[in-house]
Amino acid sequence: MNADKVIPPMNSYEQIVEFWDTHSLADYWDQTEPAEFEISSKARRRYLVAVDPDLLTRIQHLAQRRGLTTESLVNLLLEQRLHELEVQPA
């Protein structure tokens, strides 16, 4: 294993996205291991939210370019923006 190719510790979706946007899993495959898990149907709730059609189109295109689902990208963007608002002084 090359020391330059070590997956760094990450503590947020933002860090994960930033890292994998600029790195290939192929370079780190030897550091992965099989995982088994179950996802509860109650783990997430779905909400209907009206979204401007042009905004939705932009989100869908960006998600596709990044290899994400639209839902995943929306959650990442909301998490990032909410974090920014929470750490800003009132």
> Which of 2-6, 67-71, 86-90 is predicted least confidently?
2-6
How far apart CA 36 and CA 71 sit, in angstroms, is 23
The predicted-structure confidence for 44-85, as pLDDT tens digits, reads as follows: 777 889 999 999 999 999 999 999 999 999 999 999 999 999
Q: What pTM was estimated for this model as a whole?
A: 0.50
The predicted-structure confidence for 26-48, as pLDDT tens digits, reads as follows: 899 998 889 888 877 777 777 88
